[in-house]
Amino acid sequence: MFYAFIHTIHIYSVLIYGGFLFVDILFLSKIKQTLNEEEQIKAREAIMMHVRKVVPYALMVAVASGLYLFSQVFGEIGKDGMNSFQIALSIKAFLGLWLGFRGINQKFFGINPWLFKSHLFPFSLVIIIILLSQFIYL
DSSP state string for the chain: -HHHHHHHHHHHHHHHHHHHHHHHHHTGGGGGGTS-HHHHHHHHHHHHHHHHHHHHHHHHHHHHHHHHHHHHH----BTTB--HHHHHHHHHHHHHHHHHHHHHHHHHH----SS--SSHHHHHHHHHHHHHHHHTT-
The string of pLDDT tens digits covering residues 85-114 is 999 999 999 999 999 998 888 888 888 776
Contact call for residues 17 and 62 (beta carbons, < 8 A): yes
The string of pLDDT tens digits covering residues 60-84 is 999 999 999 999 999 899 899 999 8
Label residue 136 by pLDDT band (50, 70, 90): confident
In 3D, which of 89, 114, 90 has the Cα closest to residue 101?
114
Give me the domain span that covers residue 47: 2-135
Q: The pTM is what?
A: 0.86
pLDDT of 100 reads: 93
Number of separate domains in the chain: 1
pLDDT of 29 reads: 85
pLDDT of 115 reads: 64
pLDDT of 127 reads: 94
In 3D, which of 42, 125, 57 has the Cα closest to residue 115?
125
Distance between CA atoms of residues 42 and 135, nearest Å = 41
pLDDT of 114 reads: 63
